[in-house]
Every structure is written in structure tokens, then in C-alpha cells.
Chain A
């Protein structure tokens, strides 16, 4: 492979990672060209790049996954290198080949290495050949379900069905019992086919609550390979990592494993003549036995954790390797320094089965130290900024927040503080859950196996971590800021005291909706200041409004002072404080009668596209029957019948794009 200098780099990716690559490339004096779909035109990475090429359309297939369009963009802008980031085309050997054929430096390993490691089965086989421990598995033919059944019996339930071409938890199903095997296999295959264009799945033993520990490696074009220590990424939801850290708390108990796993990872890389940075993933059982899981032939989402503890810039290393530098010159001897933790901030609702959220991000402010600092601090890699729209077309990750402290406990506290002080208005996020995880006993004690979130459900985590008074305090602050805003915008009697009466009768009131709750705040401004009339109902014994504007409210509740910042957008009221952040919807004083839904109306829980419809008009169905399946953000969601009845009307068809809260099906309840 011939290396050469990269002068202008095309970044075949989007959002956070595109921005990340632009930063390192720019520091090295490399010009950057980025790509953007219609939906991404306003994202900050587009203006951060030196040039930007628009890819018409929105779906990944017609934009970031369209090899022809990407190559054409690189040629058109005279690029000489392509960085694929993660996801999309990053592990597509065909794409790497096309880059090389077109004289472009592909920042990544050789197409052959990608191909071999891209197959879960082939890579496993190779690992086994090089004495790296693996879990026994079997590829499943489409036809022979019996084969799967007998293999599952042999290795024992639970088993895991996995897409061979997969990643990120897509095309993956845990099967607890035999009767679930068939449906799981089919849906995994379907998901794999739609996500990766390859429906091959295999079955293997499912380890209950193992650790997920991965080794970062870097290899130059000349075969020199080093490892840059581990990351533990065991805390996952839907098989996607949400918290990653280095060093691994588990390896603290088994220090010799670090070397063993490191050597195994290097062996895997060497087996495919790997070049560039890559990650070898292992599952580790509680006794310290580790098994090769897969090798990711790209930069990982969680790479900043390694950057923090080693002080290295992995993107810079990628670019150096691609340009032919020797690993000993660019890495030298790496050490682990302090402790780093990354939290992935997603637009999703942990209380509602992690349902992805989309919509406008009115405000995004996450406190950070200066980026890429070698000293301890907090780093934020965000794909969005205030005012951006999180669309349904792509992954709903908003930002990564990475803390590095002297030790694990310090890093945890720093990360919590940053997350807690963040102002994220407009979308429901997993922020509170991330904080709850970081503060949970299991996390503090390092019990971070993959069963973490099954053991610690969002419900139990929240009940332990959330200040139960926080929502009431924020609602009062929201009501106070709202009245200040009303008075600030008043034209008539603008100078008069808020809600003044010469004969006080009925207090002012506002109703805030929060999830399924309605919080009413009733108040009156008397000569001595504001009185919250229904304080009892809110569960407080005293409340004084110390200061109040439309953007900031200071309350003294039961002797403690709270400062809450407030933002308004349309009918949304967004409150942020150190005790918690809540978004409320101001309920209309005059509801439209037409807005009330018929009880049998089924509305979409989120925006997405209709993948399947399982029923027809006139069908009689039982409560719980799956009526149709929506796909959004690469996840399938079933819409089930809440009641038994007859299908009166189906208002959508397969392939239709639907909005959140759009009416999908009308059911007539059995009388």
C-alpha cells in the first residue's frame, strides 16, 4: 500500500464525528470538505469545514451511504483523502476499495482487513486460529430452523441471535426460551437486511451480565502494532453503549488481564495485517475469562476516553498512519493517566422504553473545560448547537460528554456536575438517567456489567437519585418566570403590579403538563411579594420568591435557596437548575374541543416510517395485538391495540412517513 500526503480530506460522515475530524485535520493544516444531507444543512460541522458538499435527500441510503455520491463529491472538490468516521461507510470494504481505485487515501485499514473483520463468523474463526479465546457459534441458514433449535439446546438458553454484518446492537436478539427463537431469528434477519443489506445471522451462547471491555490498537503501514489500553463499555441499553470509561474498574481486580487482552488484540490486528486505529472487543465473564467478540476497523464513538487517559489524538494518529508515519514516532510509549468517563447524551425517553425523540433543540449548553486539554477537565463533543433540529433520519445522539479526573470518583463527580449544569431545552434526553447511573451504588462500586440497566431500571435509578421536590420547585419557578414574561410583554397597564386587584378574589393560575401529570400553580402577588396559594398541594411548607424575571427565578423554599433558569418556546417552558431540569407544556386555558381524541384512536408515538401493517379494516383483534410497525432512528417500534375491538379505519400505508401524534388507526371498541 502506497502512502502519500493528504492535503484535502473529505469527511464521509456527519454531525459530532465529522466535527471532531475537522478539528484534528485543521490543526494539522489539512483542508476539510464535509458532506451534508438536506436535514443536516444547519448543523455546526457544515460551517466548520472549509468546504461542504450537499447530498440531496435525507435517508442514509440516498446520502451518506451512497458510495457514488460520496466518491463524486471527493473528486469534484479535489480531495486526496477520505475519512469515513464511524457508522455509515466506515466498515464497508467496497467503499474503501472504490476510494483506492479513485486515487484517494482511505483513512482506515485495507479493504481486505475490513472484509475479514466485517464478518462476525469469519473474524471469530480467524481469532480462534490465532489462539484468541472465542464463544462457540453457528451461522443460521434461512431454511433450517431445526438447526438453530438443536444448537441452542446444546449450548443452553439464553442464546443470542446476531447479525453477521451488524454493529451497534442492530439485528441482535436475546432469546430466553425456545418458543421465542423463531420470531427473534426472523426479526433479527429483517433488521440486518434493512440496516446492512445482509441478512446473515448467527447464534451463540449469551453470557448473562458479562463485561464488555475493548482494547484500542494502532498499527502502521509497516506492521508495527501497539495497544492503547482498554475501555470498559458495559453499561448499555438496547445493546448500545451509553457510558464508557478507562481504565476498566473490572481490570483493577484482574490486572494481569490487561496484558493478556492487549496481546490478543494485537494478535487479531496482525492476523489481518491491520493498519490504522481499531478496536478489538471482548466479553469478559465474572471469573475473568475473556472471549473475542469482534473487531471494529474504525474509530469508535468512545475514542475520547482513550484520548483523555493517554493524552493522544486518535484522529491525528489515523491521519499520520495513513500518510505513512511510523507508529513509534507518533505514539511513542503510551501511559494511562488518571481516569476518564464518557457519557452519551441521547435525545430519547428512558421512561418510555428509550423511545428516540426528535425535534428542535432550543438550547444546548454543556459546561466544559477548554477542549483537548491534557490536564483534568470536561470535554464536550457535540453534533448540535442551540437552535438545531434533531431529525428522525439518523441516530439521536446529541453529544458526548467526557470527564477526566485524578481518579474514578473524581471523574464521576466532574461528569455529573457538568451534566447537571447543562441546559438542554426542547427535547427529552437521557441526561437525568446518565446522572442517576453515575451516582448509583453499582456504578460507584464498579459493578458495571452489561446487566446494569436490567438490574437498575430507569425507574429504580430515578427513585434513588431524583429530588422528589425538584419538579415542584421548577414548576413554581416556571410559573413565576411566565408571569414576568407576561408583564414584560404587556402593553396596557404595563406599569401595574402583576395581577393587581383592588378586590382579590380568584388567584392567578397556570397548568403545566409534564409527561402524564398536570401541575397547577396558583399564585397572587400581594404587597409583601408573591404568594403561592396552593403550596400545600405542591408539598411545601414555605416559599418566597426572592427574584424573578422571564429568564431566571430565585426561590427560597423551606429555607433553601434555588436558582432556576427558564426558557420559553411556543407553549414549552424549560427549566434548568442544579436539582434537576424539567420541560413543561403550558396547557391552554381554552382547549379546542376538536383536539380531544376518540378513545379508540391510535396515534403514532414518534415520527418515523411505516414498515408493516399487520391488520386490515374490519378485523376483530384482541388488546395487545400488534397493529403496525414503525421504524425510526433505525429502531422498530410496534404499535399495539390498547383495547379489543374492530379495526374501523387505517389511515396510513406501508412506506408512509408519519409525524409524532399522527392518527394511525381507528379502533371500534367491543361493546
Chain B
């Protein structure tokens, strides 16, 4: 039990400058989120409401338990692309009848809820989260199907959505579709592949081909209701399990179904077990019980300070212990190997009572010692089935003669090996920068952390923009010299500025989140809250670390 001390001077110039910069970035984030919430815009929102329909967000708010939290994931998907921010799909972690679910809802105010490539990637991410964390998936369906002009990007990979649904079911993870409107052609398989289907009377339309297509194909005269109405599916085809009188009734039925999944038992065990880890049947997990049963203390220091702690300038590293002091229970952190490889901080703590191991970059660079320390620590966490939190703020592995000769690649490989093959859940937060192979070693997106978030100031790219432009400049200078031609300094300056600007813009948190390379940008002050929710989710699956060799001493 070591209490972290506060070394932050909130009156310092650095703190004030950081604070100001962070507040500006949070304002920008809030603006982008507001744009995303507006969906298809005022005109389409009004048109949707005029039809007596609830908005996608209203449906979600009614579906989840009153006063429960909702963690929206990938809210800015599609940012910086030609598609509407949010990608016409809303999804996140919510609580229905005291059961944590992955909830997704098409936004029909955006091109009738049609799927574009980003919608598809978002849907895939939702399914991944449901599968990895064994959470029931509830889909609020109202979509015109694939956005046809973009079909080339969607059609072939999009089939995964249907495969995901049935595979979830096969793994014992219930899937529920609440159909509020259109769900036609390929989209018909979203409800079609679900375990439970509710359709709204006179609103749901679930068919492979609509009246015009049927007329063209077979000459048969038909109408929407005959082909795919709720009444027909409930009474004739049997595709619909519950017919709802209206949207509210549909949401009520959705809640009723989740309640009867019997996953909300407060006694510390869940019926959804992780077959691969602990065998089938009721398994003891500490998930929901920790937060109710075990007492924990709030951090001693205010989370508000995080705004001034995070460096506005990615080139200036800062002490992650100041961050840990504001997110760990009681600001308690027992550091492991504090005197070795000091550019990486490792140690144990807890958040809302959930035990965790932490790896956090300190002075940015990963040397051989840091890589070995990380490898050892990751193995220790696997030995005791404890989830790991990665706080990324790294410029990557050290380069230079001394380090290459010292085997930095071998040591970096150990760390990447350990991260890749670790089986305890990983949660990653980019609190500054994530450059080069450091991104891999610190469990970047490609290393499948269960959840990955970024602070608004976060940067991710193969290297810093100035360095990257500088490298290109040196390479072309060398090429010019080799060819014996004169090096155009003016053109080089222009090229450097251009490249720097491009890389800079492509490494921002907004760009990265728009590409779905994380699960969202969070306000630093929400870090503890978000990690607490994610830990509850990952803890309820049961945790089993990698076994095999003993822990290698490094």
C-alpha cells in the first residue's frame, strides 16, 4: 500500500498552459460529438419525428435502466471522411434490467439508416465486443440496408455481420433484434439471424424483396404488409416472436426478453460462461460483486487536475504516476521494479475494487531494460489472472548504434511477444503519443486490447510528423547526392511542410477515432469511470492468463 504523492503545481505556467490547451481540445471534442448526435440533421430528424417515430437515441434511452450509465463507443466513426460522423449507427455498453449489453441502433435520419463502410466496421466492432466480453447483443433495427453507391466496399465483407450474429448465438451469447422499420433485402438477416425478434406492428418491414422487385421477378402483385409486416411474420411466417403494438411496446418487450435471459443475478455468478477458459456452466466471477461487495476508496487527488497534467506538447513527456494518483482507488499504487528501466512504470493497483496491473510510459522511450521489465510484468499478471492497463505515451524503441548492438530488437520482440500472447484482458489508453513500434509493444489496436480509448491530445503514427518529414528530406537529399544532381532546398522546405502537415493531421485523436482505430476519445476526467465500466465488463467473463513456462526473469 503505497500512496502516491502529488507533485503537481496547479499554479505553474506549464500546468496552466496544458489546462487551457486541453479545455480547447475538449470543446472541440464536444462539438464533434454534438454533430454526431444530430445525425442526419434537423430536417431529417423532424421528418422522422413527424412520422410518430422515436429517434435512435430516444430508443436507447428508453431501453436502458433509468439513471444507469451508457458508454457510447466509436461515436465519431467516419470523422474526416465523406460520410456523416457517427456512420448512421450508434452503439455502446448499456444496462438493461441490470444486465450489461452491447446495444446498437441504426440512425434512420442518416440516409435512412443505410450502411456505409464505416457503419459496417462499427457493426463488426460491436460484435467483437459482444463476443470477447460475452455480452448479449441488442440491435434496434431500422435501416435501408447497404448504401448502394458504396456497395463495393460493403457487400463482400459485410456478410460478416450475419455470421457474427449466429456465432455469438452458438457461443451462448443471446442476440436480440427489435425491428422498428425497414430491414429489407440483406438487412433482413439482421433480425433473421437473431435469437429473439420483436417487430412493431404496421411499422416493421422485413423482406428479401419489396413489391416492385417481386413484380419484376415473378409478376406477382403484393404489398409491404403481405411481404414483410409484423402481423404477417408473427402469425404466418413465424419470423417474429413478439409483435409490438408500437415503439414503446417494442422497447418494453426488449427489456422483458433481456430480463428473462437470467443474467442479472446478483449472487456473483453468471450463466454465460467462457467455454474456452473455464468450461461450461455456472462459474464464479467477481464482476458485479466487486463494486457492490468490496469497499474501495476514491482517489485522493482530483481528476480535474488531469487536464493540466497531460502535456499539450506531445514532445514533452510527463510522469504517469500523476495520472495514476487520480484514477486508482485511494491513489494507491504498488510499483514493481521501480529502480529498473525507469522509462516505463509498472505496478499494481485497483479501480472500483477491480485489481489491475499497470504499464505506463514515463519518459517516452523504450530501452532494452524497459522492454524486458514489461515482458516480465506481463507474465506476472498472467500468472495471477489480473487484467492489464496500458497508458501509452511513447515515442517508440530507442534507436542508435549502442542500442541496436545492445539487442533492442530482441528485447522489443520479447515485449511484443508477451503482449501478443497474454490472455488477461488488456485496456489501453493513449494519454499522449503512441509512435512506432511503441504502439505495438504498448498494446495498440493491432494487439486487440478489449477496449482502447484516447485522450483528446493523443497522437498516433509511425513516428512524429517532424521526424517523418525530416527522414524523407534526408532520404531525398541522399538520392540527389547519389545521382549527382543539385538538391532543391526550396522544394525540400515545401515538401517537409506539406508532409509534416499531412502526417500531423493523420495522427490526431480525431483522425484515428474516425478510422475506428480506437473505441473513442474520452475526456481525461472520465478515465476512471470508463476504466471502471470496462473492468466490470472484462471481469464478468472470468479471467485466465497464459500458462506454460514459468515467468522468465529478465
Contacts and interface: CB of A to CB of B under 8 A. Distances in A.
Interface string A380-401: 0000000000000000000000
B291 to A, nearest CB: 4
A496 B70 CA distance: 10
A507 to B, nearest CB: 9
A591 B57 CA distance: 20
A591 B248 contact: yes
B68 A490 contact: yes
B13 interface: no
A467 B72 CA distance: 43
Contacts of B72: 501-503
Interface string A465-500: 000000000000000001100110011111111111
A495 B99 contact: no
B363 interface: no
A593 B246 CA distance: 10
A493 B100 contact: yes
Given A494-B288, A527-B525, A502 B65 contact: no
B529 A496 contact: yes
A497 B98 contact: no
Nearest to B92: A502
B372 interface: no
Contact of B533 (A493, A527, A589, A591): A493
Interface string A510-546: 1000000000000000010000000000000000000
B36 A491 contact: no
B58 interface: yes
Given A505-B57, A527-B525, A492 B99 contact: yes
A501 B246 CA distance: 27
A506 interface: yes
A508 B62 CA distance: 10
Contact of A496 (B62, B296, B532): B532
A494 B522 contact: no
Interface in B293-342: 296
A527 B37 CA distance: 20
B266 interface: yes
B225 interface: no
B33 A503 contact: yes
Interface in B32-87: 33, 36-37, 57-58, 61-62, 65-72, 75
Contact of B69 (A483, A496, A506, A589): A496
For B246, B251, B264, B291, the residue with the greatest tally of chain A CB atoms inside 10 Å of its CB is B291
Interface residues of A, number: 27
Given A493-B533, A494-B288, A590-B248, A503 B65 contact: no
Interface residues of B, number: 45
Contacts of B65: 486, 490
A659 B251 CA distance: 32
B98 A590 contact: no
A503 B36 contact: yes
Contacts of B532: 495-496
A492 B95 contact: yes
B232 interface: no
B251 A590 contact: yes
A505 B54 CA distance: 14
Nearest to A590: B252
Interface string A285-303: 0000000000000000000
Contacts of A498: 67, 69
A27 B266 CA distance: 52
For A494, A501, A510, the residue with the greatest tally of chain B CB atoms inside 10 Å of its CB is A494
A106 to B, nearest CB: 61
B27 interface: no
Contact of B288 (A492, A497, A499): A492
Contacts of A497: 69, 529
Nearest to B530: A502
B536 A492 contact: yes
B526 A502 contact: yes
B464 interface: no
B245 interface: yes
Contact of A590 (B36, B58, B249, B533): B249
Given A505-B57, A590-B62, 14 more contacts: A483-B67, A491-B264, A492-B100, A492-B288, A493-B69, A493-B533, A495-B353, A497-B69, A500-B69, A500-B70, A502-B520, A506-B58, A527-B525, A593-B246
28 contacts: A482-B66, A491-B264, A491-B266, A492-B98, A492-B264, A492-B288, A493-B533, A493-B536, A494-B292, A495-B291, A495-B536, A496-B533, A497-B69, A497-B529, A498-B69, A500-B70, A500-B529, A502-B75, A502-B520, A502-B526, A503-B33, A503-B36, A503-B37, A506-B58, A506-B61, A508-B66, A508-B67, A589-B62
Interface of A: 482-483, 486-487, 490-503, 505-506, 508, 510, 527, 589-591, 593
Nearest 4 A-B pairs (CB), nearest first?
A: A590-B252, A500-B69, A496-B69, A486-B67
